[in-house]
Chain A
């Protein structure tokens, strides 16, 4: 076991992890943050996306030990039922959620885009969301929700 220090959703943690343990396992099994979903487990689908030091990563391809010293935002740190993030609000309004499995990853990719670029073009939105697969919606409503969230942020 090795000791790592992380800040997750603004809270500092010191964890003992296995060298081969992935970040997604540490988040789900050690911290009980079950909002991060494992889809394909091989970096193709983006369901396990978290923001690590200001960048989106697939938490199934990052070892927990690699994240030592990092600041992580998972879906639990983005918003909640009472005060949803504007991306989450837009997803609900537009109906961009069907089965919901891809949604946490989608929301984190969109949030990270808007944190960096408050006025993204449609192309920039498309690129930012290109690492997140959805097998239900056909993407149209997801992209529309991100656009709406971006418009709202401009005010």
Chain B
């Protein structure tokens, strides 16, 4: 197996173009998959030495996050905590301290596990993905990208993400078998635009419900343009259960997740709605 350790994005995509190699981000999934034989790359392009890919910064009304920013770095970022709270919460609870120090947001998307913790918050926050290859670069809404199969072309590098700074409030919650080190059995991220006592717009994304994380457009429509109160929350609970029912069908985990999602949905909203249904 070949191993490349480029120092620039340009060099990385050149190598990707010229060889059949796989991009290596933090490696917390790929190193394991190589060991079990699930992944058998003919070469690796280690992105760890490209310092621009680690940046987290505010640019023209967006938070720009390099694909190699780790969960720990995102979880320590005041910019993320202030403007992308759901993502910040997800980064606090993913894996363990050791995993968070190594695992990256770009790797989370590249590996694209159904339970990937970073994806529901990014979906709810309206994130776009910055892709780059020898053919050029583009920004693709994450929700669009996640509907593509395969997710990415062999030579395409996830350069990073950008999240619009909108003033929406957001929250994330997940269900695991224990608090640390547990793969999410179910996760929910919600972002809401609140105007006075009214919920103008809503985006709800679910993880570990089906093959990939997804944004529920119908749920967003149903819950938008309403007064923010207890009745709104209960409507949301019923609707989200319906979404899980539709997504999971007759799978063995369906009855469990259909019930559990109501609690996870409420928890995701806990930072937005205080007890009694008033605005935080």
- List A residues at the B interface (Cβ < 8 Å): 2, 19-20, 22, 41-44, 46, 49, 55-58, 60-63, 65-66, 68-69, 109, 127-128, 130-133
Contacts and interface: CB of A to CB of B under 8 A. Distances in A.
B238 interface: no
Contact of B28 (A2, A61, A68): A61
A20 B32 contact: no
7 contacts: A19-B3, A41-B35, A62-B27, A66-B46, A68-B5, A130-B181, A131-B96
Given A55-B101, A130-B97, A61 B32 contact: yes
A62 B101 CA distance: 11
Contacts, number: 79
Most chain A CB atoms below 10 A, which of B1, B49, B180: B180
Given A43-B98, A43-B99, A49-B98, A130 B180 contact: yes
B102 interface: yes
Given A56-B101, A68-B5, A131-B99, A61 B181 contact: no
B72 interface: yes
B180 A131 contact: yes
Contacts of B49: 68-69
A57 B100 CA distance: 9
A65 B31 CA distance: 12
B44 interface: yes
Given A128-B97, A130-B97, A131-B181, A62 B1 contact: no
B81 interface: no
A44 B181 contact: yes
Nearest to A17: B3
B102 A58 contact: yes
A66 B3 CA distance: 10
A111 to B, nearest CB: 13
B44 A19 contact: yes
B44 to A, nearest CB: 6
B95 interface: yes
Given A57-B98, A130-B181, 14 more contacts: A2-B3, A19-B3, A19-B44, A22-B35, A46-B96, A55-B102, A56-B101, A58-B102, A61-B28, A65-B44, A109-B97, A109-B98, A130-B96, A131-B181
Contact of A65 (B3, B32, B96, B101): B3
Contacts of A127: 97
Given A19-B1, A19-B2, A66-B24, A58 B98 contact: yes
Nearest to A41: B35
Contacts of A44: 181
B179 interface: yes
B32 to A, nearest CB: 5
A62 B3 contact: no
A132 B3 CA distance: 31
Nearest to A4: B5
B210 interface: no
A20 B1 contact: yes
Given A56-B101, A130-B97, A22 B180 contact: no
Which 3 residue pairs spanning A and B have beta carbons closest together?
A131-B96, A130-B180, A19-B3
A55 B102 CA distance: 9
B37 to A, nearest CB: 11
B88 to A, nearest CB: 15
B27 to A, nearest CB: 6
B97 A56 contact: yes
Nearest to B32: A42
